[in-house]
Amino acid sequence: MERVVRAPQRLRGELEPPGDKSISHRAVLFNGAARGSALVRNFLAGADCLATVACMQAMGAQVEFLTAPQAEEEVPVTLRVTGAGDRGLHEPADVLNAENSGTTMRLISGLLAAQPFLSILTGDASLRSRPMDRIIRPLRLMGAQIWGRRGDALAPLAIRGGNLHGITYDLPVASAQVKSAVLLAALFADGASTVVEPAPSRDHSERMLRAMGADIASHERAIVVRPTGRPLEAVDVAVPGDISSAAFWMVAGVAHPDAEITLTNVGLNPTRAGILAVLQRMGASIRIERERTEGGEPVADLVVRSSALRGTVIQGAEIPLLIDELPIVAVAACAAQGDTIIRDAAELRVKETDRIAATVQELSRLGARMEELPDGMVIHGGAPLTGAACDSRGDHRLAMSLAIAGLLARGETTVRAAEAVSVSYPGFWRDLDRVAEGTEA
């Protein structure tokens, strides 16, 4: 599917971004393995999280949709998840398919590492090209049998879980997916485990597992898990809006010359909110209103307005705090005065696409002046964008970043493979039509 985007005269309105993808995955996965039953409100019924639902159902978790997910309409979805905690998960009768979702594959592998049965995990072509040795290594060290294609680097994966031992593991990359896989396996080990991160990554797993009765202590970069011998207890989860989805409107709002957009119910967990600090440093006008805590996660409303942006440097420990937002930050950087430099972000090369190459090549089609670095990119701001045909390459975040670039460009921008948005934001195109008022002549 192709979508055509033109620059609107104004951007106005109020939007609630869809439920957080990371938290939606965890709410189904952890409750699905827990004892008891829980309600998950504002669940993101995007393709990635639905893959997690299907995998957990195949192993005996019960997931009931109390409101049905509807393509593009995105009514808030409530689920009832009844965990397999008492009797345990069972061997799936078929291959588990994580589709496009790295979170599904990596987190479920951590859970399966402790299950005494065989499971095979696969995914789409993109996921089958993404590194899985990063989870295979620690899970094997803990005692699981686990194999992958290409010398145990790629999916499909075969896992036969085992009696696990506790480990101390230094994560080679700041990855919440790898951290979470090890933490999940560690819950079932015969002793305590410690995971050390090179820099803090999103901590939704730690927060939710603690709420379910797990013994998890965080000391700066070290996380210590002590198995309790009891199953996790199911907990209700009210999923906050996804800051990674809100980010597209934050950038549209600050970079468009006539904009004011209110974003409601945005999750502002400090391990996810790097985009806010970066845009503010670039001169963005973002007002934070109604700060509150919901389900153990900080939440607020954001009012974003047209702003004069300037370039910045993004590197080091700030990178994991906005790893998924870097393609849309590159769009903001195009609208800024001066250069923006993104470094220490080589992880972008192993996301749904190589997001360094894809962002630079696709935004360059619209006239952006930017270059690749091995671990990031340099964007020379201020070059006017001009509409052109560009391609999401099947990557949801690239599709949405290109659409926002189209809102800022002169003329007509065509985004190819525009349906990719359904992975994390099924209502994205509807929301774009809602806030864009009057298109240019």
Task: Based on the shown chain and the rule CB under 6 A, indicate whether residue 207 belongs to the binding site for ligand S3P.
Answer: no
The 16-45 site mask, x for binding ligand S3P (CB under 6 A), equals ------x-----------------------
Rounded Cα distance, 41 and 236, in Å: 8
Task: Based on the shown chain and the rule CB under 6 A, indicate whether residue 100 belongs to the binding site for ligand S3P.
Answer: no
- For ligand S3P, the binding residue among 176, 208, 255, 268 (CB under 6 A) is 176
- Residue of 324, 391, 395, 431 marked active site: 324
The 322-361 site mask, x for binding ligand S3P (CB under 6 A), equals -xx----------------------x--------------
For residue 408, which of 423, 381, 387, 379 has the smallest C-alpha distance?
Answer: 387
Task: Based on the shown chain and the rule CB under 6 A, indicate whether residue 177 belongs to the binding site for ligand S3P.
Answer: yes
Question: Which is closer to ligand S3P, CB of 111 or CB of 176?
Answer: 176
Binding to ligand S3P, residues 156-175 (CB under 6 A): 175
Rounded Cα distance, 371 and 364, in Å: 9
Q: How many residues bind ligand S3P (CB under 6 A)?
A: 11
Question: Which is closer to ligand S3P, CB of 40 or CB of 176?
Answer: 176
Question: Which is closer to ligand S3P, CB of 7 or CB of 40?
Answer: 40
324 is annotated as an active-site residue? yes
Question: Which is closer to ligand S3P, CB of 131 or CB of 381?
Answer: 131
Amino acid, single-letter form, for residue 349: R
Amino acid, single-letter form, for residue 334: C
Rounded Cα distance, 241 and 218, in Å: 25
Question: Which is closer to ligand S3P, CB of 103 or CB of 401?
Answer: 103
Q: Which residue is nearest to ligand S3P (CB)?
A: 22
Query: Which whole-number Å values give the CA distances from 72 to 50, 217, 234, 240, 407, in the listed order?
Result: 15, 40, 30, 19, 20
Question: Which is closer to ligand S3P, CB of 18 or CB of 162?
Answer: 18
- Given a contact cutoff of 8 angstroms between Cβ atoms, the answer to whether 398 and 358 are in contact is yes
Task: Based on the shown chain and the rule CB under 6 A, indicate whether residue 52 belongs to the binding site for ligand S3P.
Answer: no
Least distance (Å) between residue 306 CB and ligand S3P: 29
- Given a contact cutoff of 8 angstroms between Cβ atoms, the answer to whether 295 and 343 are in contact is no
For residue 157, which of 179, 185, 131 has the smallest C-alpha distance?
Answer: 131
Least distance (Å) between residue 177 CB and ligand S3P: 3
What's the full length of the chain, in residues? 441
Least distance (Å) between residue 437 CB and ligand S3P: 31
Question: Which is closer to ligand S3P, CB of 11 or CB of 423?
Answer: 423
- For ligand S3P, the binding residue among 103, 104, 262, 340 (CB under 6 A) is 103
Task: Based on the shown chain and the rule CB under 6 A, indicate whether residue 202 belongs to the binding site for ligand S3P.
Answer: yes
Least distance (Å) between residue 108 CB and ligand S3P: 12
Site for ligand S3P, rule CB under 6 A:
22, 102-103, 175-177, 180, 202, 323-324, 347
Q: Which residues are catalytic?
A: 324
